[in-house]
Amino acid sequence: MSTATSPQIIELGAMRRICSGCSLRELCLPAGLDSEAISALDEFVQKKQDLHVQELAYRAGDIASNIYAVRLGSFKSYRLRENGDVQIVGIHLPGELFGLDALASEQRQIYTEALEKSNVCALPVADLERLSRQIPAIGRQMMRLMARELNSSYEEHELLANDTALTRVAKFIWRYVQRRKQVGLQTRQFDIAISRQDLANYLGLQVETVSRAFRELRDRKVITASRSKLEILDHAALQALIRSE
């Protein structure tokens, strides 16, 4: 796997030996792979890569050679507008894929950057079709994971619908919790690496508006939050708020 320009989001391609200590291994690997299939995976999946805060997995214009699976940490994907402004288009958590644009283009269209110390597996696109033919279970798993990522992207875009600022923030938190739950991570109290500035950008809001929404959620005793930690005090109230607003 490349270094400074290749970052951390997927769980599809690690084999049991290499990923024996990975909490995502059952998500990544179809059950019942024989030794030959695991050997093929060993050759296919590039070594895991560590990325530091603000380190880029790739930048716009890079050759799109890999899809990435996030093992640890989190990432943001963004594009630069013509005036130089940043537009955040995706947040990637453990157990998720990013870099799927490599399937449609030979060149990256966006930037993906680590929000915290993170770790990813790289899946070479050039070998993916061959491996899927060789091991049909891997091809099916790939399709399932890609479909999940597309569905997740659709749900995330719903955050930008004509909702109030409070509802957008509440929906983001709810979706964030559900995405963590999907891969067996803590859903009551956890670190959240995305800054208020980035969250405001992602939700199409002002930073002050996002801060007010967090204050209101705290006042309602739905959450407690600092800049880096979030605790859900009342999951039912959070869900009810999303439905009623």
Taking the CA atoms of residue 41, residue 42, residue 45 and residue 50 in that order, the dihedral angle to the nearest 10 degrees is 140
pLDDT, tens only, 121-159: 888 888 777 777 877 877 777 777 777 777 766 666 666
Structural domain including 194 reads: 162-244
H/E stretch holding 123 reads: strand 118-124
pLDDT, tens only, 161-198: 668 899 999 999 999 999 888 877 889 999 999 999 99
pLDDT in the model for residue 202: 94
Prediction pTM value: 0.80
Do residues 218 and 99 share a domain?
A: no
Tokens 């005793």 correspond to 221
Do residues 149 and 192 share a domain?
A: no
Phi-psi bin for 94: left (phi > 0), alpha (psi -120 to 50), beta?
Answer: beta
pLDDT in the model for residue 122: 85
Strand-by-strand arrangement of the 97-98 sheet: 46-51, 118-124, 66-72, 97-98
pLDDT in the model for residue 217: 97
Residue 223 belongs to some domain of the structure: yes
Do residues 78 and 170 share a domain?
A: no
Q: 78 pLDDT band (50/70/90 cuts)?
A: very high
Mapped onto helix, strand or coil, the DSSP state of residue 37 is: helix
Q: Is the pLDDT of residue 12 over 90?
A: no
Q: How many Å separate Cα 165 from the centre of its chain?
A: 23
Do residues 78 and 132 share a domain?
A: yes
Mapped onto helix, strand or coil, the DSSP state of residue 171 is: helix
Query: Which residue would you say has higher pLDDT here, 105 or 6?
Result: 105
